[in-house]
Chains A and B, each alone.
Chain A
Amino acid sequence: MLFKQVLTALSIALALGAAQAQTAPDALIKQVSTEVIDTVKSDKAIQAGDVGKIISLVDAKVMPHVNFQRMTASAVGRHWRSATPEQQKRLQDEFKILIVRTYAGALTQVKDQTVQLKPLRAGADDSEVVVRTEVKGKGEPIQLDYRLEKNGSGWKIYDVNVLGVWLVEQYKSSFAQEIGSAGVDGLIAKLAERNKAAAKS
């Protein structure tokens, strides 16, 4: 039993050491969340609520591991294909700001939390997996799950679940509603307006 644990720990350490491309999806999530939480804990400016600094942290540590195109496309749904490349790019940019800000808002609450992984239930050759984690601190543990896809040699996140709610699913109907009433450009304008208003407050 102990031997097996040591072996697992060793193999994770080796995987991390060798190359990020070889990282298993759960090890990747563990590594990224630990890095982010450690940075937040040791950075006074972030704790004081410096949103700009949090956003650059998320941009640097988390976003490289996210397939944001897929995330946006799923949230936009069937209208994604008829959108022009220019529209797709703007949708992606504005949605990204919205999501990163959400994440940043949650990060300002980090104090003495740790992230614990639940056992991964996936086959060795699965190309899409769900990694389940719990953020533990004071009070009830917070459910935080990730959907990852095999992307070339590594893994990329394409959806996040907070407290039982998948982010992409969460935005689907409001996106459809905006597109229904004012088209793709209407949705872009709405997202931009939201981001501007939040940047001011």
Chain B
Amino acid sequence: MSLPSSLRRRLRGAAACALLLAAVGMAQAQNAKDPIEGWNRVVFGFNEGLDKAVLKPVAAGYQAVVPDLVLSGVSNFFGNFGDGWSAINQLLQGKPVAAAQMTMRVATNTLFGIAGLFDVASDLGIERQQEDFGQTLGRWGLPAGPYIVWPLLGPSSLRETAAMPLDLQWRPAALSQDEPTRYALSTLQLIDVRAGLLKAGRIVDEIALDKYVFIRDGYLARRRSLVYDGEPPELPDDSPDAPPVGPK
């Protein structure tokens, strides 16, 4: 069985990247969770530049021009699609009740929400609990591993990277046979995600001392929390001094 050539090229590219990452990593290992910080910062800088020049203005324009009803329709459509993937992952994580609830959600929104354009399930109190394959791997006991920033895709970890081929496969775009449709759907999804992050981005710009560190630590903590459904076990306290006692 031979792989399609595009995939083979991509794999070869990924292998080269991994080698490069390993080399840079050995050059400066300081932070245990971010051994390739030097390289990550380069990619982060590239992503920031690209975001500032293209993605952010496009997303802001999209949000300003497109009517609210359409904006929410697009978000709901992609969200409904993702909910199906969440249901499968809940099943893989041994959470049949949550999986049944998410399946109900998808069925309700697909049938009564016109193919997912309206989120009627939320109005009925069937809430979204987002899960992906990265979380499933975490649930199965795989540690996050080192932090990795990918060009275009942004913050990740070794575990999320391993899950990426499957997570990225579950998109409306991946189902389409038609190349232009695939690109259009991918682009729309990307803009939709970015538009949803515009407000958060403004806040981060204002409160981060070092944006790279802020996003890295926030990302890793959030992913860890998601693996444990919001209640991760306490980390062993690595600082030698306990917090001082407050004023009596």
Contact = CB atoms under 8 A, between A and B. Distances in A.
Interface of A: 67, 69-70, 73-74, 77-78, 80-81, 98, 101-102, 105-106, 109, 132, 138-141, 143, 149, 151-152, 156, 158, 163-166, 169-175, 177-178, 190-191, 194, 197-198, 201
Contacts of A80: 244
A105 B209 contact: no
Contacts of B209: 171, 174-175, 177-178, 190-191, 194
B111 interface: no
Interface residues of B, number: 35
Contacts of A105: 202-203, 206-207
Nearest to A70: B246
A200 to B, nearest CB: 11
Interface string B226-248: 10001110000001110111111
B246 A156 contact: yes
B210 A174 contact: yes
Contact of A174 (B122, B128, B208): B208
A164 B203 contact: no
Interface string B202-231: 110011111001100110011011100011
A78 B241 CA distance: 6
Contacts of B10: none
**Which of B122, B207, B213, B221 is packed against the most chain A CB atoms within 10 Å?**
B207
Nearest to B209: A174
Contact of A165 (B206, B221, B246): B221
Interface secondary structure of A, over-half rule = helix
A98 B247 CA distance: 22
A76 B199 CA distance: 28
Given A151-B246, A156-B246, A194-B206, 16 more contacts: A69-B244, A70-B244, A78-B239, A81-B244, A98-B207, A101-B207, A102-B207, A132-B231, A140-B127, A165-B217, A169-B221, A170-B217, A174-B209, A174-B210, A178-B210, A194-B207
A174 B214 contact: yes
A69 B213 contact: no
B7 to A, nearest CB: 33
Given A81-B241, A170-B214, A194-B209, A164 B246 contact: no
B244 A139 contact: no
A140 to B, nearest CB: 5
B207 A173 contact: no
A74 B100 CA distance: 42
Contact of A177 (B128, B130, B210): B210
Contacts of A175: 209
Contact of A78 (B199, B203, B240): B240
Contacts of A139: 119, 122, 128
10 contacts: A73-B243, A74-B243, A105-B202, A105-B203, A132-B230, A139-B128, A164-B226, A164-B232, A165-B218, A170-B214
B222 A164 contact: yes
Given A69-B246, A70-B243, A194-B209, A163 B222 contact: yes
A77 B207 contact: no
A51 to B, nearest CB: 10
Contacts of B244: 69-70, 73, 80-81
A169 B243 contact: no
Nearest to B211: A174
Given A191-B209, A194-B209, A149 B246 contact: yes
B108 to A, nearest CB: 16
